[in-house]
Chains A and B, each alone.
Chain A
């Protein structure tokens, strides 16, 4: 029993693309960039993560500041080491190096103390002493005026406006589903542009090298095209999986994904289904059209219109759908196979699509694929033996 020709063609595509020196090197470089980037990022994040420390010593007459310093340190997130030393020891302690180094020595009247530092005042120490002195002065004055400093502190903490809005915000633009569906269609666009041109170049390469005549003597043009699309698709997914996986792994290792919650339910499955449908439709168009030309330099003349065909639904989705996710225009457009892979996932994120609409759009897209296979296969069969200038589409389709 031998493998199916479509799979054999696909395997050749994967093998020849995956095992080239250029591919292995570029993949390795990209992986290296991700790993190095993660390590470098990790280094900076670690630095930020470490709480700033401050070592402050108080003179005997200034110890009244210590509760205020401690609460200020707690507020500002500074790890404070507090000590009390004699004035005479201050100079030596400030000039000491290493773990025991003192940032500042505060002495004198707690309401306006003297702050002695080695050279420049440490910003953390200065901030702490500053707040502590203010808080000390306020407390003292409230006490003198007969008030309760604790009640005052409580009242200050509660002093913030309570915001209320008339309309409850919808899930809409801000919902994570919207963001993820936009990311998904952007990925679809990028995947289609890169794999579309890969398919087009592969088709023309077979035409230019004339190997296609031997292939067509053995297998059907539709099989050859399907194998090519499958192979390039698998190769593209592999790239996406390796690089995307490395990126996710790196981010997870850094603990950056904790805040992102993805609903790994129906939404994700739907995204994948539409991704595959969109890939199949556009890949067939790219493959079929590419067969019309004979040289690599002419590829642009067939891929440019296809790029427009790709960007139209992408921008239409980006600009029309968020404004009016359930309007008549969007409803109609999202049933058209070229638009549906882009529009449906985004519409679904807004929650306005009925199951029937979704099923209909999928049905139409699915029904389009065999039709496109037939048309692309036909254009392909006629186009591949045509050499010279660009072949007209009508000539390729005719009788």
Chain B
């Protein structure tokens, strides 16, 4: 099975370290979501993968061999900053790009027709790119990344600016490519989409991978988490339940009447029953259910932990 390995990439812009030993890999047939806040290093990492930027150190490997220019011609790339020749016809432009990626004119012609039709811009093949709406330009941009039947897909924010229909088409295409054995890596801020679509996710912060794994792995934590809704005063609940060993109570973001109960891994077994018993003593229990964190929560956790650490460092200085 083919693997795209990102191995200890380092990159600095002057004094700013954009990437710090960034390491992860993407397997063939897998959709990898690359998530991180603005300026975390996603675009830099992707540009290095495509050879548009040179890394200070580290390697990008494809099937064990370094991803050189020849191999990069088989990669489909959608840069964060969209770019096409504005005064060139859609069809001609895609044909030109397909040729640059090593397709013969015949193959290119067929591929251009297929992908423009598939992405719903077939009737616009004869129009100049600048005449298209932004959303349609985005579709052409995706066609440009797919037209040469790439063996690897690297897409920087492919979903930004797309309408829901286009998002569905795009998701379908990514899944189809992955099923064909292509490793697909894309970055996005639409975390619900990433959660739905990706097989694995990497959360990057300050140029480092902070969390990596399948959605299930990431969501499974050693600590247990519940939502608890009791007919009682918040202060009373916090006092009664928070006194259990290894258990903390906090306000619930989604439901003002409920609280979130967190049991540390060190809490004794059967702690859930103890929590429930104490809750019943306080009043009628409306809801008591385990919660698994969403990607958004994980992401917030990673970012806030980092920010706190950063602030702590600042204070220490």
Question: Which A residues are closer than 8 A to B by beta carbons?
Answer: 1-3, 5, 8-9, 12, 15-16, 20, 205-206, 209-220, 385
Residues of B within 8 A of A212 (CB): 83
Distance in Å from the Cβ of A234 to the closest Cβ of chain B? 17
Task: For B102, give the chain A residue with the smallest CB separation.
Answer: A2
Residues of B within 8 A of A3 (CB): 99
Residues of A within 8 A of B103 (CB): 2
Extra contacts, 15 of them, besides A16-B85, A206-B85 (Cβ < 8 A), are A2-B99, A2-B104, A8-B99, A12-B96, A20-B87, A205-B85, A213-B77, A213-B83, A214-B77, A214-B97, A216-B52, A217-B52, A217-B79, A218-B73, A385-B47
Query: A184 to B91, alpha carbons, bound, how many Å?
Result: 41
Query: A20 to B53, alpha carbons, bound, how many Å?
Result: 34
Task: For B104, give the chain A residue with the smallest CB separation.
Answer: A2
28 contacts between A and B (CB under 8 A): A2-B102, A5-B100, A8-B96, A8-B99, A8-B100, A16-B87, A16-B88, A206-B85, A210-B79, A211-B84, A211-B85, A212-B83, A213-B52, A213-B79, A213-B81, A214-B77, A214-B79, A214-B83, A214-B84, A214-B144, A216-B51, A217-B50, A217-B75, A217-B77, A218-B72, A218-B97, A219-B69, A385-B47
B290 at the interface (CB under 8 A from A): no
Distance in Å from the Cβ of A121 to the closest Cβ of chain B? 68
Q: Are B81 and A210 in contact (CB-based, < 8 A)?
A: yes
Task: For A217, give the chain B residue with the smallest CB separation.
Answer: B50
B86 at the interface (CB under 8 A from A): yes
Task: For B89, give the chain A residue with the smallest CB separation.
Answer: A16
B101 at the interface (CB under 8 A from A): yes
Number of A-B contacts (CB under 8 A): 66
Query: A49 to B72, alpha carbons, bound, how many Å?
Result: 70
Instruction: Give the residues from 83 to 129 in chain B that come closer than 8 angstroms, CB to CB, to chain A.
Output: 83-88, 92, 96-97, 99-104
Question: Which B residues are closer than 8 A to A by beta carbons?
Answer: 47, 50-53, 69, 72-73, 75, 77, 79, 81-88, 92, 96-97, 99-104, 144
Q: Are B83 and A210 in contact (CB-based, < 8 A)?
A: yes
Residues of A within 8 A of B51 (CB): 216-217
Distance in Å from the Cβ of B228 to the closest Cβ of chain A? 51
Contact of A209 among B85, B101, B102 (CB under 8 A): B85
Among B52, B87, B103, max chain A CB count under 10 A is at B52
Task: For B99, give the chain A residue with the smallest CB separation.
Answer: A8
Query: A335 to B50, alpha carbons, bound, how many Å?
Result: 42
Contact of B83 among A9, A16, A211, A218 (CB under 8 A): A211
Q: Are B82 and A385 in contact (CB-based, < 8 A)?
A: no
Among B53, B84, B99, max chain A CB count under 10 A is at B99
Residues of A within 8 A of B86 (CB): 209
Distance in Å from the Cβ of B214 to the closest Cβ of chain A? 29
Query: A211 to B75, alpha carbons, bound, how many Å?
Result: 16
Residues of A within 8 A of B144 (CB): 214
Among B51, B83, B100, B104, max chain A CB count under 10 A is at B100
Residues of A within 8 A of B101 (CB): 218
Query: A205 to B86, alpha carbons, bound, how many Å?
Result: 9
Task: For A216, give the chain B residue with the smallest CB separation.
Answer: B52
What 10 pairs across the A-B complex have the smallest Cβ distances?
A: A210-B83, A211-B83, A217-B50, A213-B79, A210-B81, A217-B77, A218-B100, A216-B52, A8-B99, A209-B83
Distance in Å from the Cβ of A113 to the closest Cβ of chain B? 79
Residues of A within 8 A of B99 (CB): 2-3, 8
Distance in Å from the Cβ of B13 to the closest Cβ of chain A? 11
Residues of A within 8 A of B87 (CB): 16, 20
Contact of A385 among B53, B73, B100, B102 (CB under 8 A): B53
Query: A216 to B75, alpha carbons, bound, how many Å?
Result: 12
Query: A5 to B53, alpha carbons, bound, how many Å?
Result: 20
Distance in Å from the Cβ of B119 to the closest Cβ of chain A? 16
Query: A205 to B73, alpha carbons, bound, how many Å?
Result: 23
Task: For B72, give the chain A residue with the smallest CB separation.
Answer: A217
Task: For A12, give the chain B residue with the smallest CB separation.
Answer: B96
Query: A214 to B86, alpha carbons, bound, how many Å?
Result: 14
Residues of B within 8 A of A213 (CB): 47, 52, 77, 79, 81, 83
